[in-house]
Amino acid sequence: MNEQHRSEGTVDTLKKLLKAAEQGRIIGIAFIGVARGRRVVKGWSGYAGQDPNFALGALRQLDQELLMHARRKRQ
């Protein structure tokens, strides 16, 4: 992969999540990723699939936080 186009923030976040999962602190995940060309990668695993209502609630929280972030960036 071309190092110039790599998102270090994304890599760091994924490494932290992987470490937490390996330690058993994260037991499920629901995610979206943005790939080149603004393509969306999405999915879930672990507890997020076992209790989808819980995962949906967490995603709603993320939705609100991201909406507030978008509004702040517009100002």
- Per-residue pLDDT for the chain (75 aa), expressed as one digit of tens each? 555 689 999 999 999 999 999 999 999 999 999 999 999 999 999 999 999 999 999 999 999 999 999 999 998
* Domain range list for the chain: 3-74
Q: Please, what is the Cα angle at 11 between 71 and 41, to 5 degrees?
A: 65
d(CA 49, CA 13): 21
pTM of the model: 0.82
* pLDDT at residue 3 in the model: 53
The per-residue b/e assignment along 32-48, b for 16 or more CB within 10 angstroms, e otherwise, is eeeeeeeeeeeeeeeeb
Site of tokens 């929280």: 61
Residue 66: alpha-carbon gap to chain centroid: 11
Give the tokens for residue 65. Answer: 């936080």
